[in-house]
């Protein structure tokens, strides 16, 4: 069972929540997959999403690659959610730590995911700590980049359809890092 750790009410009444739990259980319009450029959904978050979504996710991912080629940081892919509670999966490609310009690439992936969400009329979105698993991005730095990217995107786009963003983390270290990051970037909590 997913548990909300913190809620922050943002400009325009939008809700940003930190959730301790399983991303594949989120009942939102779309979830964000921590993907790689080839949409190979083998392990980590991507593997968990692929297993829960079923074979349609792999088919749609292959079709997307055939049409568009490798997924860049700034322009995530989108597929249906298959057997997931979410209707859509947005496949955002974060950077591998050490490849250079990691913070700007992670920011681009987050803002790209939000752009794709807006283009598809998505109002609720859940995302993990992109790039912090096998890609090695330090958790607290990723938390700050992800949170700042979300806030920057929403402030620049008051017309955005996104009303709820859930940062959903299965591991306690991620929850702790994002709780601390939210305290730094979002100000006082609006609810518990």
Closest CA to 44 of 134, 126, 141: 134
The band of 191, judged by pLDDT with boundaries at 50, 70 and 90, is very low
DSSP-assigned beta bridge partners for residue 7: 17, 191
Q: Please report, for the chain, the start and end positions of each structural domain, with discontinuous segments joined by +.
A: 3-186
Closest CA to 5 of 132, 187, 144, 182: 182
> pLDDT (tens digit, 9 = 90+) per residue, 33-73?
999 999 999 888 999 999 999 999 999 999 999 999 999 99
Average pLDDT for residues 98-110, to the nearest whole number? 97
| CATH architecture group of domain 3-186 | 3-Layer(aba) Sandwich (3.40)
**pLDDT, averaged across the chain:** 95
């Amino acid at each position: 069972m997913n548990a909300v750790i913190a809620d922050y009410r943002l400009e325009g009444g939008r809700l940003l929540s930190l959730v301790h739990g399983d991303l594949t259980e989120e009942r939102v319009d779309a979830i964000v997959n921590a993907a790689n450029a080839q949409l190979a959904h083998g392990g980590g978050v991507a593997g968990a999403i692929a297993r829960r979504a079923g074979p349609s996710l792999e088919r749609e991912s292959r079709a997307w690659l055939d049409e568009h080629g490798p997924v860049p940081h700034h322009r995530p892919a989108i597929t249906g959610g298959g057997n997931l509670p979410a209707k859509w999966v947005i496949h955002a490609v974060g950077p591998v730590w050490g490849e250079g310009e990691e913070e700007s690439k992670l920011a681009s992936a987050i803002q790209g995911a939000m752009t794709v969400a807006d283009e598809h009329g998505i109002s609720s979105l859940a995302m993990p700590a992109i790039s912090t698993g096998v890609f090695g991005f330090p958790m607290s730095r990723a938390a700050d980049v992800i949170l700042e990217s979300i806030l920057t995107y929403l402030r620049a786009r008051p017309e955005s359809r996104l009303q709820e963003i859930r940062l959903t983390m299965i591991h306690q270290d991620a929850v702790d890092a994002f709780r601390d990051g939210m305290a730094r970037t979002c100000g006082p909590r609006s609810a518990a």
